[in-house]
């Protein structure tokens, strides 16, 4: 079991994007940082807001989604963090609101943040915590959809999913992804 050393939440910086579906990764990092009592502060050399507790880094890139890899790679290279020690938390169109999946490696599913991280790290072997936002039903509507806030009923499901992720955090923190997967992939935790 390889414990994560870097947890990255994906999103877009700025107040215009704060409440949008595309910022679920930021939402998770904010909740995790509060729970761990980690302060996130601007870190210019890492192109984001970062904070540390022991050997664990939390990161919210401020590069905008399609350049997330610049931030992730800068911190990972500086602290010699391998892709297998990185957990990226992001919104997922292919899961319903409240759906959660965790996996290592694989494709990027057209997610520009994941695509850039793969390119910058030179590997797809990082872990992904995929938080469902649902799909608008028409792929021409995807950009508009992810850059809007979730509807009230979706937000309730997303909040419950984030709570489940925090409950599973102790398993994720030690690299026990199999047990965390079982807990996260089952609605009742």
Phi-psi region of 178 (alpha: psi -120 to 50; beta: other; left: phi over 0): alpha
Q: How far is residue 140's CA from residue 133's CA, in Å, rounded to a whole number?
A: 16
| Dist. CA 180–CA 182, nearest whole Å | 5
- Active-site entry in 22, 49, 90, 111: 22
- Nearest CA to 81 out of 90, 89, 71, 91 is that of 71
Q: How far apart are CA 158 and CA 21, in angstroms?
A: 10
**Is 22 tagged catalytic?**
yes
Q: Catalogue the active-site residues.
A: 22
């Amino acid at each position: 079991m390889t414990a994560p050393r870097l947890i990255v939440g994906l999103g877009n910086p700025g107040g215009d994007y704060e409440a949008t579906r595309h910022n679920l990764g930021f939402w998770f990092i904010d909740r995790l940082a509060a729970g761990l009592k980690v302060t996130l502060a601007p870190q210019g050399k890492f192109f984001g807001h970062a904070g540390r507790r022991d050997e664990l880094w939390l990161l919210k890139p401020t590069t905008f989604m399609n350049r997330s890899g610049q931030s992730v790679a800068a911190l990972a290279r500086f602290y010699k963090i391998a892709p297998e020690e990185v957990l990226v938390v992001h919104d997922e169109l292919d899961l319903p609101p409240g759906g959660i999946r965790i996996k290592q490696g694989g494709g990027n599913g057209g997610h520009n943040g994941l695509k850039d991280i793969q390119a910058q790290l030179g590997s797809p072997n990082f872990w992904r915590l995929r938080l469902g936002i649902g799909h608008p039903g028409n792929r021409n509507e995807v950009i508009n959809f992810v850059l809007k806030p979730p509807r009230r009923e979706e937000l309730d499901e997303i909040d419950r999913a984030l709570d489940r992720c925090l409950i599973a955090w102790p398993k994720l923190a030690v690299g026990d992804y199999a047990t965390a997967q079982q807990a996260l992939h089952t609605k009742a935790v």
